[in-house]
Amino acid sequence: MHELSLAEAINKTVKELCARSEWVRVRRIVLKVGHMRQVDAELLSFAFDVVAKGTVSEGAELSILELPIVFRCHACGKAIGGEGTTFACTNCGSTNVELLSGMELTIESMEVESQQVL
Amino acid sequence: MSEIVTIQQAVMAEDEKYAFRVRESMREKKILAVNIIGSPGCGKTTLLEAMASRTDFSFAVIEGDLETSRDAERLATAKIKALQINTKGLCHLEAHVVEKALSSLDIDSLDVLFIENVGNLVCPAEFDLGEDFKVAVSSTPEGADKPLKYPMLFAQAKAVLLTKMDLLPYIRFDKEMFLRDVRSLNPKAPVIELDLLSGTGIEKWVSFLSERLREKRAHAV
Ligand SMILES: [Zn+2]
């Protein structure tokens, strides 16, 4: 289950971000995930709940925005959005394509709480 | 009080710093670093064993394993310099672990460093270890549907090794489909067919590596 590996990586990155900015609690994380990553959103959320226990992200909601695969074909010049994960142009069949989107694994934004100043 | 902050940071950014340091050190020492990824039992260790005394370059192996040190012992028997990293259940290697391993391995006189990743096709494909490239290893008994099931790995691999070709007469393996699917994911990577028992194909694999090493050194000048 690579969702567990990804959840651990997300949790580690969020922890570092919080330590740097003195955020004490994370309520929500918006994550962009490219289709190439083959992430099961439900599994990832579940895995994240588990690994986030006892950290600043405990109980945080993980919102996953899935991004489709988009190619540019160098043979016919078209930009092609693919359903599957094959690297061939659906217009002309060329494999001379460049991946424009689909490999993302990015924390887009977070809802955080800072230290209470009394 | 909570606020919404824009982050836009890659999840692997922290580990990528370590990967960058590994890559820098490999560049300085002009060592080719190869991350080998494949299922358990696909022949990763056998491949490395079979390379002993068949290369004109020197090499060492960082061996990622879940629990045991059996693979490193096998390599030591073949007189191959190997360092075992026990991942203690983690299903992939990460760059910080590789960086640490490098400090305890004498690599100055090396030409090629192999990192044999934990036997798994999914998680290792996600993590950059600072290697020059990844190599996908798939064996014929695993079936011809591996490329489309694990597109991340096959799309990124610089070479695809198809092992256990000697079993082809005894099993059902649609080689045409395998090759076609690899092509559709990765038009450029060569597919090298190997029979590690007889040694067929090893020469091709070794010359592929020698060529990449030569390129890296020509580039580094
Ligand atoms: Zn096209």
- Min mean pLDDT across A2-11, A20-29, A83-92, A100-109 is at A83-92
Q: Among partner residues A13, A28, A88, which is closest to B11 by beta-carbon distance?
A: A13
Query: What does pTM read for this prediction?
Result: 0.85
What gap in Å lies between CA B178 and CA B162, rounded to an integer? 9
Using a CB-CB cut-off of 8 Å, the residues of chain B touching A84 are: 148
Whether the per-residue pLDDT at A117 is higher than 80: the answer is no
Determine the distance separating the centroid of ligand 1 and the alpha carbon of B185, expressed in angstroms.
15
Angle at B164 between CA B161 and CA B168, to 5 degrees: 115
User: Could you give the 3-state DSSP secondary structure of residue B181?
Assistant: helix
Q: B160-198 pLDDT, tens per residue? A: 999 999 999 999 999 999 999 998 888 889 999 999 999
**What does the DSSP assignment read for A13-77?**
HHHHHHHHHTEEEEEEEEEEEEGGG---HHHHHHHHHHHHTTSTTTT-EEEEEEE-EEEEETTT-
What gap in Å lies between CA B134 and CA B149, rounded to an integer? 17
What gap in Å lies between CA A17 and CA B11, rounded to an integer? 11
Touching A: B residues 5-24, CB under 8 Å: 5-15
Determine the distance separating the centroid of ligand 1 and the alpha carbon of A95, expressed in angstroms.
8
Q: Please choose, from the candidates B117, B126, B121, B100, the residue with its C-alpha nearest in 3D space to the C-alpha of residue B12.
A: B126
Q: Is the dihedral of CA B51, B52, B58, B60 positive or negative?
A: positive
CB contact under 8 A, B123 and A38: no
Q: Which burial class, exposed, middle or buried, applies to B169 when counting CB atoms under 10 A from its CB (0-12, 13-18, 19+)?
A: exposed
